[in-house]
C-alpha cells in the first residue's frame, strides 16, 4: 500500500497545475497507487475541458510547456508528465498523464509512523 495515497497525490498535482491551466472543468480523472523497488507514488490520467475565449490557445501552449515544467508538489515530485490536446464537441480538452513520486523523507516518516501505530 502506498504511503502517499493516489487521491492525495492527485489533489496535490491538480493544485499545482491549476495556476497554469486556468479556468477548466474536470471531465474525467483516474489515479492509482504505484510503486517500484525504490519508489512509491501514483499514476494519474485527467481530461480537463478548458474554458474561456483563449481556451484553444492555452491547450496548445500547455501541451508544449507542461512536460518540461518544474511543478512544486508538497511531499513529492512529478517524474513524468505527458499532455495531449483534443476537442470534445466544441471544447478544447487537455489530456494529462502523469507519474508522481513521494519524496524519500516523506516515505521514511510514513513508514516510521506506521510501525508505531
CATH of the domain at 31: 3.30.980
Residue 56 lies in a domain: yes
Count of domains forming the chain: 1
* CA–CA–CA angle 13, 17, 21 (5° rounding): 150
pTM of the model: 0.81
pLDDT in tens, 5-33: 798 999 999 999 999 999 999 999 999 99
Residue 61 lies in a domain: yes
Residue 1 lies in a domain: no
pLDDT at residue 110 is higher than 60: no
* Sequence-ordered strand ranges (E) for the chain: 24-35, 40-50, 76-88, 91-102
Cα separation of 10 and 5, whole Å?
9
Residue 49 domain boundaries: 6-116
Question: Is the distance from CB of 50 to CB of 59 less than 8 angstroms?
Answer: yes
Residue 68 lies in a domain: yes
Residue 44 lies in a domain: yes
Amino acid at each position: 500500500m502506498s504511503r502517499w495515497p493516489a487521491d492525495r497525490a492527485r489533489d496535490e498535482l491538480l493544485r499545482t497545475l491549476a495556476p497554469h491551466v486556468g479556468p477548466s472543468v474536470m471531465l474525467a480523472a483516474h489515479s492509482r497507487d504505484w510503486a517500484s523497488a525504490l519508489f512509491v507514488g501514483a499514476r494519474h490520467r485527467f481530461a480537463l475541458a478548458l474554458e474561456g475565449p483563449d481556451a484553444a490557445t492555452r491547450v496548445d501552449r500547455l501541451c508544449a510547456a507542461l512536460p518540461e515544467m518544474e511543478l512544486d508538489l508538497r511531499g513529492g515530485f512529478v517524474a513524468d508528465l505527458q499532455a495531449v490536446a483534443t476537442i470534445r464537441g466544441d471544447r478544447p480538452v487537455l489530456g494529462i498523464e502523469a507519474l508522481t513520486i513521494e519524496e524519500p523523507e516523506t516515505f521514511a516518516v510514513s513508514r516510521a509512523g506506521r510501525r508505531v501505530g
